[in-house]
Amino acid sequence: MESLPLKDIHLPPDVGIWPLATGWWLLIGLILFLMITGLWFYRHLKRRSGLRAANKLLLAIANDSLQTDQQKLTALSILLRRVAISTAPRDEVASLNGAAWLAYLDQGFKDAPFSQGIGRCLADAHYRATPVEVDLPAVIKLCQRWLKQQQPKRG
Protein backbone atom coordinates (compact mmCIF):
# COMPACT_ATOMS: atom_id res chain seq x y z
CA MET A 1 0.00 0.00 0.00
CA GLU A 2 1.08 3.27 -0.98
CA SER A 3 0.62 6.24 1.37
CA LEU A 4 -1.39 9.10 0.04
CA PRO A 5 -0.10 12.64 0.33
CA LEU A 6 -2.78 14.01 2.66
CA LYS A 7 -2.67 17.38 4.25
CA ASP A 8 -3.50 18.01 7.88
CA ILE A 9 -7.08 18.92 8.90
CA HIS A 10 -7.87 22.62 8.63
CA LEU A 11 -10.13 23.95 11.35
CA PRO A 12 -12.50 26.83 10.59
CA PRO A 13 -11.66 30.20 12.14
CA ASP A 14 -13.03 30.92 15.64
CA VAL A 15 -16.51 32.37 15.75
CA GLY A 16 -16.31 36.10 16.56
CA ILE A 17 -18.59 38.02 18.83
CA TRP A 18 -19.68 40.38 16.04
CA PRO A 19 -22.14 40.36 14.34
CA LEU A 20 -24.45 39.25 17.09
CA ALA A 21 -26.79 36.37 16.55
CA THR A 22 -30.54 36.96 16.39
CA GLY A 23 -31.08 35.66 19.91
CA TRP A 24 -28.74 38.28 21.37
CA TRP A 25 -30.59 41.07 19.54
CA LEU A 26 -33.88 39.77 20.90
CA LEU A 27 -32.43 39.64 24.42
CA ILE A 28 -31.13 43.23 24.15
CA GLY A 29 -34.51 44.39 22.84
CA LEU A 30 -36.32 42.60 25.67
CA ILE A 31 -34.06 44.15 28.30
CA LEU A 32 -34.57 47.64 26.84
CA PHE A 33 -38.33 47.11 26.67
CA LEU A 34 -38.45 45.97 30.31
CA MET A 35 -36.32 48.92 31.45
CA ILE A 36 -38.48 51.49 29.63
CA THR A 37 -41.70 49.85 30.82
CA GLY A 38 -40.41 49.72 34.40
CA LEU A 39 -39.42 53.39 34.30
CA TRP A 40 -42.81 54.41 32.89
CA PHE A 41 -44.62 52.32 35.52
CA TYR A 42 -42.51 53.80 38.33
CA ARG A 43 -43.22 57.36 37.18
CA HIS A 44 -46.91 56.58 36.78
CA LEU A 45 -47.13 55.20 40.33
CA LYS A 46 -45.15 58.13 41.68
CA ARG A 47 -47.49 60.66 40.03
CA ARG A 48 -50.58 58.80 41.19
CA SER A 49 -49.26 58.54 44.74
CA GLY A 50 -48.75 62.31 44.77
CA LEU A 51 -52.38 62.88 43.81
CA ARG A 52 -53.51 60.38 46.44
CA ALA A 53 -51.46 62.22 49.04
CA ALA A 54 -53.04 65.50 47.93
CA ASN A 55 -56.51 63.99 48.37
CA LYS A 56 -55.58 62.83 51.88
CA LEU A 57 -54.25 66.28 52.70
CA LEU A 58 -57.44 67.85 51.38
CA LEU A 59 -59.50 65.63 53.69
CA ALA A 60 -57.23 66.52 56.60
CA ILE A 61 -57.75 70.23 55.90
CA ALA A 62 -61.51 69.74 55.67
CA ASN A 63 -61.70 67.79 58.93
CA ASP A 64 -59.33 70.00 60.95
CA SER A 65 -61.49 71.62 63.61
CA LEU A 66 -58.66 73.73 65.03
CA GLN A 67 -58.32 75.90 61.93
CA THR A 68 -60.51 78.85 61.06
CA ASP A 69 -62.19 79.12 57.68
CA GLN A 70 -59.57 81.70 56.67
CA GLN A 71 -56.75 79.29 57.55
CA LYS A 72 -58.49 76.49 55.67
CA LEU A 73 -58.82 78.67 52.56
CA THR A 74 -55.12 79.46 52.77
CA ALA A 75 -54.27 75.77 53.12
CA LEU A 76 -56.53 74.88 50.18
CA SER A 77 -54.93 77.53 48.01
CA ILE A 78 -51.45 76.26 48.89
CA LEU A 79 -52.49 72.67 48.23
CA LEU A 80 -53.91 73.46 44.79
CA ARG A 81 -50.80 75.38 43.83
CA ARG A 82 -48.53 72.54 44.98
CA VAL A 83 -50.51 70.00 42.97
CA ALA A 84 -50.54 72.26 39.91
CA ILE A 85 -46.77 72.71 40.09
CA SER A 86 -46.23 68.97 40.47
CA THR A 87 -48.48 68.00 37.55
CA ALA A 88 -47.66 70.75 35.05
CA PRO A 89 -44.41 72.41 34.02
CA ARG A 90 -43.30 74.68 36.83
CA ASP A 91 -42.58 77.69 34.61
CA GLU A 92 -46.16 77.68 33.33
CA VAL A 93 -47.86 77.53 36.72
CA ALA A 94 -45.66 78.96 39.46
CA SER A 95 -45.97 82.61 38.43
CA LEU A 96 -49.75 82.62 37.98
CA ASN A 97 -51.87 84.69 40.36
CA GLY A 98 -55.24 86.37 40.52
CA ALA A 99 -57.44 85.94 37.44
CA ALA A 100 -54.75 84.01 35.54
CA TRP A 101 -54.52 81.50 38.39
CA LEU A 102 -58.29 81.06 38.47
CA ALA A 103 -58.35 80.64 34.68
CA TYR A 104 -55.72 77.93 34.99
CA LEU A 105 -57.80 76.17 37.64
CA ASP A 106 -60.86 76.40 35.35
CA GLN A 107 -59.17 74.40 32.58
CA GLY A 108 -61.18 71.25 32.06
CA PHE A 109 -64.36 72.64 33.59
CA LYS A 110 -67.22 73.80 31.40
CA ASP A 111 -68.83 75.98 34.05
CA ALA A 112 -65.71 77.99 35.15
CA PRO A 113 -66.30 77.39 38.88
CA PHE A 114 -63.09 79.12 39.94
CA SER A 115 -63.33 82.29 37.82
CA GLN A 116 -67.06 82.82 38.05
CA GLY A 117 -68.21 80.60 40.88
CA ILE A 118 -67.48 79.68 44.46
CA GLY A 119 -63.77 79.18 43.76
CA ARG A 120 -63.12 82.90 43.32
CA CYS A 121 -62.34 83.14 47.00
CA LEU A 122 -59.14 81.13 46.46
CA ALA A 123 -57.55 83.96 44.49
CA ASP A 124 -57.20 86.43 47.33
CA ALA A 125 -59.05 85.27 50.45
CA HIS A 126 -55.85 84.30 52.20
CA TYR A 127 -54.46 87.84 51.75
CA ARG A 128 -57.43 89.68 53.24
CA ALA A 129 -57.29 91.06 56.74
CA THR A 130 -60.97 90.38 57.39
CA PRO A 131 -62.36 86.87 57.03
CA VAL A 132 -64.33 86.13 53.88
CA GLU A 133 -67.81 84.69 54.17
CA VAL A 134 -67.76 81.58 52.02
CA ASP A 135 -69.45 78.20 51.84
CA LEU A 136 -66.37 76.20 52.82
CA PRO A 137 -67.84 72.72 52.20
CA ALA A 138 -68.69 73.80 48.64
CA VAL A 139 -65.13 75.07 48.11
CA ILE A 140 -63.73 71.79 49.43
CA LYS A 141 -66.00 69.82 47.07
CA LEU A 142 -64.79 71.99 44.20
CA CYS A 143 -61.18 71.32 45.17
CA GLN A 144 -61.94 67.57 45.26
CA ARG A 145 -63.46 67.87 41.79
CA TRP A 146 -60.36 69.65 40.54
CA LEU A 147 -58.05 67.05 42.06
CA LYS A 148 -60.01 64.20 40.45
CA GLN A 149 -59.54 65.64 36.99
CA GLN A 150 -55.80 66.23 37.37
CA GLN A 151 -53.53 64.19 35.18
CA PRO A 152 -49.80 64.76 35.08
CA LYS A 153 -48.92 66.72 31.95
CA ARG A 154 -45.79 66.24 29.92
CA GLY A 155 -43.51 69.18 29.63
Buried b (16+ CB within 10 A) or exposed e, 39-63: eeeeeeeeeeebbeebbebbeebbe
Could you tell me the residue ranges of all domains in the chain? 49-149
From CA 133, how far away is CA 69, in angstroms rounded? Answer: 9
Of the pLDDT bands very low, low, confident and very high (cuts 50, 70, 90), residue 144 is very high
CB-based contacts of 128: which residues, under 8 Å, 6+ apart?
70
Q: Say if residue 141's pLDDT is above 90.
A: yes
The DSSP result for 89-113, as a single string, is -HHHHTT--HHHHHHHHHTT-SS-T
pLDDT at 152: 58
Supply the pLDDT for residue 3.
Answer: 84
Cis peptide before 131 (omega within 30 of 0): no
For the segment 1-50, what is each residue's pLDDT rounded down to a tens digit? Answer: 788 888 888 888 888 888 888 999 999 999 999 999 999 999 888 777 87
In this predicted model, what pLDDT tens digit does every residue of 56-105 receive, in sequence order? 999 999 999 898 888 899 899 999 999 888 888 888 888 888 889 899 99
- pLDDT value at residue 153: 57
CA distance 12 to 112: 78
Q: What confidence score (pLDDT) does residue 155 get? A: 46
